[in-house]
Structure 1
Amino acid sequence: MSDAAMGTGDNPYLRDPPTEFDPAEELDAATARAQAAALREAVRFHDRRYYVDADPVIDDRTYDRLFERLRRLEEAFDLDAADSPTRRVGGEPLDELPTVEHVAPMLSIDSSGDPEEVRAFDRRVRDGLDDAGLDTDVTYLCEPKFDGISVELVYEDGRLKRAATRGDGVEGDDITANIRTVGSIPQRLRGEPPERLAVRGELFMPRGPFSEYNSERVAEGKEPFANPRNAVAGTVRQLDPSTVAERPLDCFFFDVLASSAEFETHSEQVRRLPEWGLKTSLRVAHVDDIGAALDYRDRLLDDRDDLSYEVDGAVVKLDDRRSCEALGATSRAPRWAFAYKFPPRTEETTVRQIAVQVGRTGRLTPVAMLDPVEVGGVTVSRATLHNPDQIADLGVDVGDRVEIQRAGDVIPYVEAVTEPGSDDHFQFPDHCPACDSAVERDGPNAFCTGGLACPTQLQRAVEHYAARSGLDIEGLGEKNVQQLIDEGLVERIPDLYDLTVEGLADLEGWGETSAENLVRELEAAMEPPLADFLAAIGVPEVGPTTATSLARHFGTLDAVMAASTAELEGVDDVGPIVAEEIHEFFRSERNRAVVDALRERGVEPRAAETETGTELEGLTFVFTGSLDGYTRSEAQELVERHGGNATSSVSGNTDYLVAGANPGVSKQDDAEANDVPILDQAAFETLLADRGVETEG
Structure 2
Amino acid sequence: MRCRLASFLWLILFLCLVSPPLLADCPDWSASRAERELTALQGRLAAWNRAYRHDGRSPVSDAVYDQARVRLDVWRRCFPGVLPEILPPVTGSAGEARHPVPQTGLAKLAEAAAVRAWLARREDIWLQPKVDGVAVTLVYEAGRLVRAISRGDGRRGQDWTSTARRLPAVPETLPTDADLVLQGEYFLRLTEHVQAEVGSAGARSTVAGLLAREHLNAKEASRIGLFVWDWPDGPATMEARLAEVARLGFPASASLTLAVDGLAEVRYWREAWYRGPLPFATDGVVLRQGGRSPGTTWQAKPPVWAAAWKHPPREALAEVRGVEFRIGRTGRLSPLLHLMPVELDGRVIRRVAVGSLARWQALDIRPGDQVAIVLAGLTIPRLEGVVWRAVQRPALSPPDPEAYHALSCWHLAPGCQAQFLERLTWLGGPEGLDLPGVGPGTWQSLMDAGLVTGLLDWLTLEAEALEAVPGIGEIRAARLQATFAQAQERPFAAWLEALGPPPGLAPAAIENWASLATRGERRWRAEPGVGPERAGDLVAFFAHPEVQALARRLARVGVAGF
TM-score interval, smaller chain: 0.3 to 0.5
**TM-score, normalised via structure 1 length:** 0.34
Larger Rg: 2
By relative contact order (CA 8 Å, sep 6+), the higher-ranking structure is 2
**TM-score, normalised via structure 2 length:** 0.41
